[in-house]
């Protein structure tokens, strides 16, 4: 591995360190903070006082006689009772362990811990840890609220596949559904808004198409599209639906999109969507230059529709042509600090810089002589890309298997990583040595990012909502990549240890009952020896009249 470079402390970090002002807290807040801090110590003192009173009142309460009776009763119990007791404890803890593990795999947290934090902590006067706010602080040092799932914006995948010609063929071959219902429902909402939302006068075929996009059954959607065409042979939205879902080949989809284009009229939404899909058809059919021209014309004709990310389609087509100078020109326009980033922007920039040095790059030589300026720029570009989306390298390096990309992606999430790697892995392989450079340097990014992710290095701190949203977007047979890697909760480890320990006790008690009886007596004798020593010291230290007066009280 190449020696990695640590981030230099900035003025931003020094200002953040002094930003908290304790004088800003009011008297009430200080009082609550002091009570919360002293609660633990008050409980400890109260517990010590209770133990002391029990010891003092042992004679009136006849504790010695009670303990003697209990020991006689326990001695009469057979080893079978202890086997049953430890076996039952092992079974119960094992069931709790299985449930905790299932809950952690499904929701990413411990059920017991979640219940404790949600219900018990407020009753005990606990307050939220300040680290929650710090985890989602902005790069400017301003605290931001923790983003919820609804605040994790889901974007339309710019290179989404065709349902009939690509997604359905995957289902026919594997028997697996590559799209989730949540993802398809988002697409239905997009189509309703995009194709029928701005219509001033709703026609009969438009009403049919509105219902068609909402249909869950693909065959019902296709039947509704044909019904709309019967009402109006110029219904462009119906041809779009047939091209997306009924066409089983890209050639057939292209023919239907051309028919839709002739019927689109002046509807800007339909024109942009159809022309983009026609350009994607040309790209898939190998007419790359034609696809590039169509995308450039579309971006020139509708320059205000940058939110549709047509430039990402253009970047992928230019990389296929190996027109790296044109790729750099597109990046110069869209890789701007004021514009939103994406994995395509960041990783394509890293690819261009890595390509310039990767052919002659050697980790051993770089370790001896250090990195050149060009190599350092390439490594920094890789670190920047990995910080934006840390899930991508495992797909590019083929450490995780790829699946078909979803129709919607979450930026910086696993869904975006799948979509990027699905289309761009071939471009990284074409640049000789680029994947080797990525393999040697990508993990160094995590030494630069502050942990536990309280601040970002070049971007905002990594959002904590990506895992939940990605599980909704990606199919269940795909193992969602999680960052940062979550450690096993304490209660899973505790129940695992308890289950193993009690099972071992049950087995040993069953096999060696007499030996285990001797061991248990020796264990408890050793355990209570310090208590007896402490009680003797107290009796010798305090006068006997004092204990007598306490007993009378």
Predicted local confidence at residue 119, as pLDDT: 61
The region of weakest confidence among 77-81, 86-90, 162-166, 543-547 is 543-547
Predicted confidence band at 330 (pLDDT cuts at 50, 70, 90)?
very high
In this prediction, residue 37 carries a pLDDT of 65
Given a cut of 70, is residue 354 above it in pLDDT? Answer: yes
Angle at 157 between CA 304 and CA 224, to 5 degrees: 95
**CB burial readout 381-403, b (16+ within 10 A) else e:** bbbbbbbbbbbbbbbbbeebeeb
> What is the reported pLDDT for 135?
29
Of the pLDDT bands very low, low, confident and very high (cuts 50, 70, 90), residue 457 is low
Identify the domain containing residue 427 by its residue range.
Answer: 341-501
Q: Which of 371, 370, 375, 372 is nearest to 357 (CA)?
A: 375
Count the domains in the chain.
Answer: 1
Instruction: Report how far residue 410's alpha carbon sits from residue 151's, in angstroms, rounded to the nearest whole number.
Output: 11
The CA distance from 191 to 239, in Å, is 13
Q: How far apart are CA 308 and CA 302, in angstroms?
A: 11
Instruction: Evaluate whether residue 378 is within a structural domain.
Output: yes
C-alpha triplet 153, 156, 161: angle, nearest 5°: 145
Specify the pLDDT at position 509.
Answer: 78
458 confidence band (pLDDT: 50, 70, 90)? low
Q: Please tell me whether residue 410 adopts helix, strand or coil conformation.
A: strand
With 80 as the cut, is the pLDDT of residue 275 above it? yes
- Higher pLDDT pick, 273 / 196: 273
Could you tell me if residue 419 is inside a domain?
Answer: yes
pLDDT of residue 538: 64
Residue 20 lies in a domain: no
Q: Is 272 helix (H, G, I), strand (E, B) or coil?
A: helix
Indicate the SS3 state at residue 409.
Answer: strand
Determine the pLDDT at residue 240: 93
Residues 6 or more apart whose Cβ sits within 8 Å of residue 171: 177, 178
Query: What confidence tens digit (pLDDT) does each residue in 179-226 have?
Result: 999 999 999 888 888 886 555 567 888 888 888 888 888 899 999 999
SS3 (DSSP) at 532: helix
Of 452, 451, 483, 449, which is closest to residue 465 (Cα–Cα)?
483
pLDDT recorded at residue 366: 74
Tell me what pLDDT residue 146 has.
Answer: 39
pLDDT score of 71 = 67
Q: pLDDT tens across 101-142, in order?
A: 777 766 666 777 777 666 655 554 544 443 333 323 333 333
Predicted confidence (pLDDT) at residue 446 exceeds the cutoff of 60: yes
Domain for residue 403, yes or no? yes
> What stretch of H or E contains 155?
strand 154-156
56 burial type by CB count under 10 A (0-12 exposed, 13-18 middle, 19+ buried): middle
**Radius of gyration over every alpha carbon of the chain, rounded to an integer in angstroms:** 33
Mean pLDDT of 509-534: 75
Candidates 469, 467, 498; CA nearest to 484 is 467
Q: What is the mean pLDDT of the chain?
A: 78
The average pLDDT across 287-312 equals 89
Of 130-134, 175-179, 258-262, the least confident: 130-134
Of the candidate ranges 60-69, 123-132, 357-366, the one whose mean pLDDT is the lowest: 123-132
Which of the 8 DSSP states describes residue 461? P
Mean local confidence (pLDDT), 12-23: 40
> Does residue 113 fall inside a structural domain?
no
Give tens-digit pLDDT for 226-256. 999 999 998 999 999 999 999 999 999 999 9
Which residue do the tokens 């995308």 mark?
Answer: 295
Q: What is the pLDDT of residue 121?
A: 55
Give residue 369's pLDDT.
Answer: 79
Residue 45 lies in a domain: no
- Say whether the peptide bond before residue 452 is cis (omega within 30 degrees of 0): yes
Element (H, E) at 408: strand 408-410
pLDDT at 546 over 60: no
Look at residue 475 and tell me if it is in a domain.
Answer: yes
Q: How far, rounded to the nearest angstrom, does the alpha carbon of residue 220 sit from its chain's CA centroid?
A: 35
Closest by alpha carbon to 2, among 371, 383, 396, 373? 371
Instruction: Write down how long the chain is.
Output: 553
* 138, part of any domain: no
**In this structure, which long-range contacts are made by residues 316-321, counting pairs with CB atoms below 8 Å and at least 24 apart in sequence?**
316/159, 316/283, 316/344, 316/423, 316/424, 316/427, 317/283, 317/288, 317/291, 317/292, 318/292, 319/348, 319/351, 319/424, 319/427, 320/283, 320/288, 320/427, 321/288, 321/289, 321/292
Q: How many CB atoms lie within 10 A of CB 300?
A: 8
At residue 373, the pLDDT reads 87
pLDDT value at 399 more than 70: yes
Q: How confident is the model at residue 405 (pLDDT cuts 50, 70, 90)?
A: very high
Whether pLDDT at 143 is above 60 = no
Give the mean pLDDT of 154-177: 92
8 Å CB contact between 397 and 438: yes
159 close to 312: Cβ distance less than 8 angstroms? yes
Using 50, 70 and 90 to split pLDDT, how confident is the model at 27?
Answer: low
Query: What does each C-alpha distance from 443 to 314, 359, 423, 456, 470 come to in angstroms?
Result: 29, 21, 23, 16, 22
């Amino acid at each position: 591995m190449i020696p990695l470079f640590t981030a230099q402390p900035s003025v931003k970090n020094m200002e953040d360190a002094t930003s908290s002002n304790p004088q800003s807290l009011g008297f009430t807040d200080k009082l609550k903070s002091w009570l919360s801090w002293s609660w633990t110590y008050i409980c400890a003192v109260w517990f010590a006082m209770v133990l002391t009173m029990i010891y003092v009142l042992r004679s009136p309460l006849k504790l010695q006689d009670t303990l003697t009776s209990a020991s006689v009763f326990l001695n009469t119990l057979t080893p079978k009772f202890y086997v049953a007791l430890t076996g039952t404890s092992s079974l119960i803890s094992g069931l709790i362990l299985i449930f905790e593990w299932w809950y952690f795999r499904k929701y990413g947290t411990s059920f017991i811990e979640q219940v404790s934090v949600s219900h018990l902590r407020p009753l005990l006067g606990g307050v939220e840890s300040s680290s929650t706010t710090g985890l989602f602080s902005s790069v400017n040092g301003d605290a931001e609220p923790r983003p919820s799932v609804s605040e994790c914006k889901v974007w339309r995948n710019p290179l989404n596949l065709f349902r009939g010609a690509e997604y359905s063929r995957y289902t026919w071959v594997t028997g697996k559904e590559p799209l989730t219902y949540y993802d398809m429902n988002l697409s239905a909402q997009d189509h309703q808004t995009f194709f029928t939302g701005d219509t001033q006068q709703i026609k009969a075929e438009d009403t049919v198409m509105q219902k068609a996009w909402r249909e869950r059954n693909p065959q019902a959607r296709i039947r509704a599209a044909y019904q709309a065409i019967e009402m109006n042979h110029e219904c462009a939205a119906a041809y779009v639906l047939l091209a997306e879902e009924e066409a089983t080949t890209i050639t057939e989809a292209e023919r239907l999109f051309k028919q839709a284009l002739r019927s689109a009229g002046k509807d800007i939404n339909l024109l942009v969507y159809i022309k983009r899909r026609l350009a994607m058809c040309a790209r898939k059919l190998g007419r790359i230059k034609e696809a590039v021209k169509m995308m450039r014309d579309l971006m020139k004709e509708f320059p205000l529709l940058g939110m549709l990310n047509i430039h990402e389609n253009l970047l992928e087509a230019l990389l296929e042509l190996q027109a790296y100078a044109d790729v750099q020109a597109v990046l110069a326009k869209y890789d701007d600090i004021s514009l939103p980033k994406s994995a395509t922007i960041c990783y394509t920039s890293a690819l261009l810089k890595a390509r310039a040095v990767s052919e002659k790059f050697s980790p051993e030589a770089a370790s001896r002589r250090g990195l050149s300026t060009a190599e350092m720029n390439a490594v920094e570009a890789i670190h920047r890309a990995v910080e934006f989306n840390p899930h991508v390298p495992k797909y590019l390096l083929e450490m995780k298997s790829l699946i078909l990309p979803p129709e919607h992606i979450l930026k910086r999430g696993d869904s975006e990583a799948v979509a990027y790697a699905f289309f761009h892995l071939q471009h990284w392989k074409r640049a000789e040595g680029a994947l080797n450079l990525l393999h040697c340097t990508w993990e160094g990014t995590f030494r630069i990012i502050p942990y536990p992710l309280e601040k970002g290095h070049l971007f905002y701190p990594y959002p904590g909502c990506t895992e939940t949203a990605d599980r909704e977007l990606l199919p269940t047979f795909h193992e969602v990549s999680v960052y940062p890697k979550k450690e096993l909760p304490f209660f899973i480890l505790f129940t695992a240890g308890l289950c193993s320990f009690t099972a071992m006790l049950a087995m040993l008690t069953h096999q060696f009952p007499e030996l285990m009886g001797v061991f248990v007596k020796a264990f408890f004798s050793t355990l209570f020896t310090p208590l007896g020593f402490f009680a003797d010291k107290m009796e010798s230290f305090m006068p006997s009249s004092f204990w007598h007066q306490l007993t009378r009280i």
